């Protein structure tokens, strides 16, 4: 079975609780907390594993939350390779208001990584056996990490013959798009607007923006994640819009990561791009049905995949 590796430069232990209502100054009585290992690449690897694929997560880890993260991945039975660092792994937390259905997500910045720690992450990826067919770089860059780390990772994937999949935000995403070389890029609608430096207010705007990015060689495939509206896929000169099944939204945490994990797994298994993105859309929809920081369940993904053809 093809191996999918993920690199998460800024992992987190995700804490989720619920309370009646978030108000200032008052003590907020919360539910029992749920802890999940988090960070984009870790979530991708978890979803690949849940859906029956073989994944290995590489990530820096330090301090008490780093230890907790490593133990949590052990308990899940996920193959993973922590890279020890001097700083502390971050915690992020989500609060659900059960009176209103609103969700509040608090994302902390994480510790900076030294050049030696970043080099060790690359060394671990290089040493993976068997060699991964896909390498997913997903999540935020921690403070102080140079944008040129993307170049180092791209060079690594070319040396080992892996396809690089990128799901970043902000300046790291913009840099990766400028440099090109990725096999697949997955921006959100807001991120797409930033990449083309103009508002995206219609489906026509989306299509024109994706055409401009593929023409610039930003990636071979661009999957625009549209949440409840599904996805728009660009490959060469071809565009395809795929709709999402309508599901009750409980929590959006990890939905994009679930989508990406399913897409990469399907591509690694040799499925068509159309089939892969439909699979990803079903996985994202299955995740929003789950509370807090919980990710998709395999049976939900299969059921949603069979609901309709997903076309639009």
Active site residues: 257
Which whole-number Å values give the CA distances from 28 to 17, 24, 89, in the listed order? 11, 9, 26
Rg (CA), the chain: 19
Distance CA 192, CA 174 (A): 10
Distance CA 185, CA 164 (A): 9
Q: In this structure, are residues 48 and 264 in contact, taking their beta carbons and an 8 Å threshold?
A: yes
Distance CA 121, CA 84 (A): 9
**Pairing label, strands 3-7, 12-19:** unpaired
Which pair of tokens denotes residue 81?
């390779």
DSSP state of 28: -
Residue 30 DSSP SS3: strand
- Which of 126, 120, 127, 136 minimizes the C-alpha distance to 61? 120
Which pair of tokens denotes residue 155?
């060079």
263, containing H or E segment: helix 255-268
Q: In this structure, are residues 87 and 12 in contact, taking their beta carbons and an 8 Å threshold?
A: no
Which pair of tokens denotes residue 68?
């907790």
Distance CA 260, CA 220 (A): 15
């Amino acid at each position: 079975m093809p191996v999918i590796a993920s690199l998460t430069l800024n992992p987190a232990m995700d804490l989720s609780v619920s309370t009646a209502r978030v108000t200032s100054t008052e003590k907020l009585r919360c539910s029992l907390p749920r802890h999940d290992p988090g960070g984009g690449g870790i979530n991708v690897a978890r979803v690949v594993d849940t859906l029956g694929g073989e994944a290995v997560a590489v990530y820096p880890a330090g301090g008490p939350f780093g230890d907790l993260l490593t133990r949590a991945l052990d308990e899940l039975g996920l193959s993973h390779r922590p890279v020890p660092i001097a700083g502390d792994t971050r915690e992020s937390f989500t609060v659900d208001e059960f009176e209103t259905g609103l969700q509040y997500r608090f994302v902390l910045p994480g510790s900076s990584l030294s050049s030696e720690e970043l080099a060790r992450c690359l060394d671990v990826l290089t040493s993976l056996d068997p060699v991964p067919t896909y390498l997913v770089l997903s999540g935020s860059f921690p403070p102080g990490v140079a944008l040129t780390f993307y170049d180092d990772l791209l060079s690594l994937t070319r040396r080992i013959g892996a396809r690089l999949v990128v799901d970043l935000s902000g300046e790291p995403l913009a840099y990766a798009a400028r440099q090109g070389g990725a096999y697949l890029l997955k921006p959100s609608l807001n991120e797409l607007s930033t990449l083309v430096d103009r508002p995206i207010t219609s489906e026509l705007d989306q299509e024109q923006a994706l055409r401009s990015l593929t023409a610039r060689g930003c990636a071979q495939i661009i999957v625009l994640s549209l949440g409840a509206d599904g996805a728009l896929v660009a490959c060469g000169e071809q565009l395809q819009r795929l709709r999402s099944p309508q599901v009750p939204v409980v929590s959006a945490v990890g939905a994009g990561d679930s989508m990406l994990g399913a897409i990469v797994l399907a591509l690694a298994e040799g499925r068509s791009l159309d089939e892969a993105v439909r699979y990803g859309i079903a996985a994202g929809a299955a995740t929003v049905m789950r509370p807090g920081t919980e990710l998709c369940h395999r049976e939900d993904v299969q059921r949603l995949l069979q609901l309709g053809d997903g076309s639009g």
